[in-house]
Amino acid sequence: MPSRLHGALERIDLAEKLASFDDAWNPRIVAELNGQEVRLVKLRGEFVWHSHADADELFLVLRGELEMHLRDRVVPLAAGDAFVVPRGVEHKPVAPTEAHVLLFEPAGTVNTGDASSERAGSLRRQDLDRT
Ligand code: NI
């Protein structure tokens, strides 16, 4: 019997999941597949510059606005926009107001990448298992 994939074979109510927590920069895992994780996160303000040596990272903005700062430009993202940061590329997400974002990246990716920061969220899934 294969181990059950987190979030598999069930409806995932993203709004309900987002309503179940309020802390910023602390992603929650809502599903996993193919060694990747789908995470929900609330962003408020400015994050740290960082890169991920071994992980490409997808940001899908669900609510609010997100500025993706790259070293040579800033990419404004609105709800409904998605953006992929390739591995090794420095980036700094900035949310002028609260933004709700879905992240898709390899399991175990630390959100601060190579930058050590107290902002590194501890990935928690147990919170959402109860919802
Ligand atoms: Ni990142």
What pTM was estimated for this model as a whole? 0.87
pLDDT tens, position by position, 66-120: 999 999 999 999 999 999 999 999 999 999 999 999 999 999 888 888 886 556 6
Q: What's the first-to-final CA gap in the chain, in angstroms?
A: 25
Q: Which of 111, 79, 80 is nearest to 95 (CA)?
A: 79
Ligand 1 mean position to 7 CA, how many Å? 23
Tell me yes or no: is domain 14-109 CATH 1.10.3720.10: no
Whether 43 contacts 111, CB under 8 Å: no
Cα–Cα distance list, 129 to 7, 20, 25, 43 (Å): 9, 11, 20, 22
Q: How high is the pLDDT of residue 64?
A: 98
Ligand 1 mean position to 86 CA, how many Å? 9
Ligand 1 mean position to 49 CA, how many Å? 8
- pLDDT of 131 higher than 80: no
Q: Which of 128, 129, 102, 88 is nearest to 43 (CA)?
A: 102
Ligand 1 mean position to 40 CA, how many Å? 14
pLDDT tens, position by position, 23-37: 999 999 999 999 999
Q: What is the 3-state secondary structure (H, E, C) of 67-89?
A: EEEECCEEEEEECCCEEEECCCC
pLDDT tens, position by position, 54-71: 999 999 999 999 999 999
